Structure 1
Amino acid sequence: MATTDRHPARPTSAVPRASLATLALAHALSAAERGLAVIPLSRTKLPALPSPHRGDPPSAPRCHGECGLPGHGVYDATTDPRRIRALFAAAPRATGYGIACGLPPYHLIGVDLDTKSGTDSSASLRELALRHLFTIPDTVVVATPSGGRHLWLTGPPDVVVPNSAGRLAPGIDIRGAGGYLVGPGSRTEHGVYSAVPGTGHLSPAACPPALLRLLTPPPRPQHTGRAAVPHSGQHGHGLVQFVLSAHEGQRNTRLFWAACRAHESGLGDAFLEILADAAIRTGLTERETRSTLASAARLTASR
C-alpha cells in the first residue's frame, strides 16, 4: 500500500518543493507496484501537467493522448515506472498523485464521504446499507485533510460505474470510470492524504452487489426502430448496448471503456468496428470515435 504519513502534517509551504516532488514520486511508484495506474497532481488536487491542446479551437476533436504528449489528465495514468518518472519530471511542481479508477486489475471505485456539505455522509452511507441490506467490507480507507474518507472498492470488469456527486446520497461522491482518487501520501494546500491506520495493508475489497446496483444507472430504453447490432457473444453484446445507451456527456467515456474491455477480451478489429458504429449512432462524430478507439488501443497495448 502507498505509505501512511504517521507524522503530524507539515504545511505544504513548509516543505521544500523539491522534497515534495520526490515524496510524491515515491508514493506514486509504490502504488504502481500494486497495479494502480497513477498521474502527478498539483497542490490543488488537479492534474499537474497542462494540456498540450489549450490553444486548439473548440471544434477540434478531443485528444486522449493519441498525440503522444503528456497532459491528458487521467488518460496519462500508467503503472510503467519509466513513464511515471517521465511524467513527474515534466511536472516538477507536483505534490501528490492521482489513482485512476475503473482500470484493471482492480477496476477501482472510490466512495468519497465528504464533510464540506454540512451533512453526515457516514450516517447517510449507514442508512443506505440498512435500507438495501449490504455491509461495507474491510477495505482501504484514506483520510482527507478536511476530515472526510475515501473508501476503495473494486468492481467487476464488465460493469462501468460512472462518476457522480451527491446522486447516491447527500455528501457522497463516487469516483468511477474516467475519474481518479488522490493517493495517500499526497500533500495539498489543505494538508496530507493518509491511509487510515489498520487499512493501509489491505487490498481494495469487492463492492457489495446491492451497492453496485445503486451505483450503476439503468440503461436507457432503446428505440424500437433501431436496427439490431451484431455482437461477439454475451460479453460483446453487453459492451455494444453499454455504448448505445450513453447519455450526452458520457459518449466518449463509455466508448473508451468498452473499447478497452474489447481489447482485453480479444474480441478483434471487426468487433471494434461494431463499437464504432454504435458510438456514431449515439451522436459522436467519425473523427471523435476514431480518436477514442485509438486512445483505448494505445492504453491497452501499454499494459
Structure 2
Amino acid sequence: MATTDRHPPQSVPTSSLATLALAHALSAAARGFAVIPLSRTKLPALPSPHRDDPPTAPRCHGECGLPGHGVYDATADPRRVRALFAAAPRATGYGIACGLPPHHLIGVDLDTKTGTNSSASLRELALRHLFTIPDTVVVATPSGGRHLWLAGPPHVVVPNSAGRLAPGIDIRGAGGYLVGPGSRTEHGVYATVPGTANLAPAPCPPALLQLLTPPPRTHHPDSTRSGQHGAGLVQFVLGAHEGQRNTRLFWAACRAYESGLGSTLTDALVDAATRTGLTEREARSTIASAGRLTSGP
C-alpha cells in the first residue's frame, strides 16, 4: 500500500480520482482485504437498489445479487472490485471491510474531533490492563487522527462501538469498514504512516480483545419478532460469498444465541451454511463455537 500526498490539488478530474481509488483498492485486495468504493463523504459510493422499497420490506444484505449493499458488497476478488468501481465512476476512495478473513481486521480509530487526547487514553488503557500495542499498520486521517489496524482471531466477532472504551476511541469490527489509505475525501487524503505501509495487521493483544468483546446482552423477544429475526439471520448466512461463509455463519450464530434462539435456529443455520458450500461438520463446529463464546465465562 503506497503512501500518498495528504493534500492533492483540488482540480484533479473526477475520472482520475476514480482511477487512483481503484488502483489503491486493487492493491489492498491483493493483500487479502475486502474492499468497496467510497464517495468523498466516506460513505459507500453505490446507491442501494432497495432505496424505494417500503419500510416494511425485509432487509437485504446482498442476497438479491445486486451491488449497493455497502460493506456487504466488499470483496477481494479483483474482477468484482473492478465491477464495483465501474458501477461507481465518481468514487474517490475505498473502504476496507473489518472482521473478514484472512485478516479479521479490527480498526482502532483514535479520533481528534472530540477535543480529547485519544492516544493518551489508549496508553492509559494499555497500562491499566497490561497490554502493549504492537507495531502494525497505522493510517493518518485528514483530521489528524489515526487508524490502528489489528488482526482478530477467526472465531471472535468484535462489534462496532463509538467511545465505549474511552472518549475519542471508536472501534470498527464486524459489519464496519475503515477508509483505506490513498482515499480522497472532502476533508483530505488518508495515508499510511511512514514505516507501516508494508506491515501486516498485528494480532490484537488478548487483554484488549477482551475489552472489545463485551458480555452478551439478555433478550426477551416475543415470538413474532423471534421468527423475523431468525429468518433474517438465515438469509444473512445464505448471502455469503466464498471467503465469507464461516464468518457470516459465526456472526449469525452469535446473534441467535444472544437472542435466545441458538438451539431453535441451529438446524436452519446448518442447512443455510451447507447450501453456501460448508460441510455440515464445519457448520455445526462453527455454531458450537458461537455458543461457547456467548455463554460467558
Which band: TM-score by shorter chain?
0.7 to 0.9
Superposition pairs of residues 67-146 of structure 1, within 5 angstroms: 67-146=64-143
Contact 2:138 2:192 (C-alpha < 8 Å) held by counterparts: yes
Q: Which amino acid aligns with 2:89?
A: P
CA distance 1:126–1:151, shift in 2 (3 Å): same
CA distance in 1, matches of 2:176, 2:144: 21
CA distance in 2, matches of 1:254, 1:169: 35
Structure 1 residue 257 displacement after superposition: 7.7
CA distance in 2, matches of 1:102, 1:93: 27
1:264 lines up with 2:246 in the alignment: yes
Deviation per residue, 1:205-243 (Å, 9 max, x gap): 0000000000001123588xxxxxxxxxxxxxxxxxxxx
CA distance 1:252–1:210, shift in 2 (3 Å): farther
Superposition pairs of residues 235-274 of structure 1, within 5 angstroms: 256=236, 263-264=245-246
CA distance 1:111–1:208, shift in 2 (3 Å): same
Aligned residues with identical type, % of pairs: 75
Superposition pairs of residues 74-223 of structure 1, within 5 angstroms: 74-220=71-217
CA distance in 1, matches of 2:175, 2:38: 15
Counterpart in 1 of 2:286? Answer: none
Contact 1:259 1:275 (C-alpha < 8 Å) held by counterparts: no
CA distance 1:14–1:262, shift in 2 (3 Å): closer
- TM-score, normalised with respect to structure 1: 0.76
Ranges of 4+ aligned residues in structure 1 off by more than 4 Å: 251-263, 273-283
Structure 1 residue 156 displacement after superposition: 0.5
Which of these residues, 10, 28, 33, is aligned with residue 8 of structure 2? 10
CA distance 1:206–1:255, shift in 2 (3 Å): farther
- TM-score, normalised with respect to structure 2: 0.78
CA distance 1:222–1:24, shift in 2 (3 Å): closer
CA distance in 2, matches of 1:68, 1:42: 22
CA distance in 2, matches of 1:190, 1:253: 37
Structure 1 residue 38 displacement after superposition: 0.2
Q: Which amino acid aligns with 1:117?
A: T
CA distance in 2, matches of 1:153, 1:277: 27
Contact 1:177 1:253 (C-alpha < 8 Å) held by counterparts: no
Q: In angstroms, what is the RMSD of aligned CA positions?
A: 3.6
Unaligned runs of 5+ in 1: 224-243
CA distance in 2, matches of 1:81, 1:214: 35
CA distance 1:254–1:164, shift in 2 (3 Å): farther
Q: Which amino acid aligns with 1:169?
A: A
Deviation per residue, 1:220-271 (Å, 9 max, x gap): 3588xxxxxxxxxxxxxxxxxxxx9xxxx9x968995899699439x9xxx9
Deviation per residue, 1:105-129 (Å, 9 max, x gap): 0000000000000000000000000
Structure 1 residue 62 displacement after superposition: 0.5
